[in-house]
Structure 1
């Protein structure tokens, strides 16, 4: 197929046509959060938006709203993927990675969050550049992690020839599985020949909770048996602290009773200090008693003078 413009510039029209045909991946990711999200989690969300030029933003969602409403928001925004940060009790943050509107959807607990501004690392990359995605070999050991890997590839990979992207590859997003968690890091490629890298940020740790077949719902495909709710962990910590306090108080009571029951280590004569008198203390007591008597006498003397003044007869005025 060949096109020619009015001026006869054939090559220019072919380049424009090739550019429009090459941008075939129209993936758009909706990234937003619920109300009550802390400042650190909000900064993490903004860092992810900066790393994803194909992302779109939305205002905060009310906690009372049903999560299935996000499917309608994605449809209005023309987005096929979604990253939703759900906040609970202003302490715990859950990340939903969803393929809308058909699913599947994966839910993670976000821990160990460190933003770009918080870390102040030396790495840097061009805003809008396309990343390399690096996955650990442990992702191929279970079907659940294979599904999560494919979901992350479709969400975090910047489409080729995207209008907001830059034609450079200068950073790497790594996903590693360790201790039943997914560790996410972002590195700058300093020298491709020497394999030198500098960390940029942000950092976060994701613990997979469940995978559902639908979008924000549907049949349960996978559930992590090693996952423990953070509320249960905090409750156990409070119980342990209360038990520690009770044990300390009981130990104090026990030590007091044992001291009362214990016999003296050596015999003491109760009449030993009968005639030992401290003369210095006696003198101080006498001096204080003398001072008190002098003050009392002075007050009485002043009272008598006041009474005498009151009893004096008044002088008569001349002419009366």
Structure 2
């Protein structure tokens, strides 16, 4: 009802009484020249036999709609799995502890926006059909003018495709209804860098068709070392001869140029699944041909490229690494010199 507004930022706009309602009574793209929205509490809960809404709206309602961590439940807000409220009570007082207890996910949108104002880490989010597509690395690009990525938070108006655009409204209109996904950390500073790990598995005759287990990786570059859990949601089924991609976040920026990756593998036996039992008659090794690491930077910022690509291969005479259960494989930047066919020792 107020014409001429330049921008409205919706910090987890309320769901009850607003979601699914007419644009006349809720936030929508026509309310300002630029409407950006951060969704953090769109998960409904089931309590005492009743379905209860999340505090925040899951419905897209802006020109750019951001869904950190899928926009439903935020890292560090599950009070059943951590002493979150007592620690907050001691550190920040009763008022903040009450917010954490009642509306930790809902309030996180405010904290993410504050963190984005002066932080050196950009909240890069990717336009994707679903959060699972995003986590599997299917939407990992940030090409200028494509609308494939955007900046969440205070600097959202400088997103690629909007800055220095002759008619930014045309670009904004094309994004209406799209969802932009990213991941964040558990505590301040919340912003994380995004890494896409591409795992190419070998398939020697001695390998099982598939194995399942847990993967962790250490990435080494001239800027330092970071440790990543590649299976944070539990064990993963891996078929030899296939390639897998996953997006993992970390607060550190390695600046590309990955020199070495150490990959740790642990086979997972489940007594409830007889096919996973691996005692004397099966091979629990994982055979890995190469590991690729991609890291994004926003286009046009400084002298850096928009995407760093590193492909690393096993440091041995074969063209793959044979990683035993609870063992480690080492991969280095020698792929261009290691192009011989798979060999069996």
In the superposition, the TM-score normalised over structure 2's length comes to 0.24
Higher alpha-carbon Rg: 1
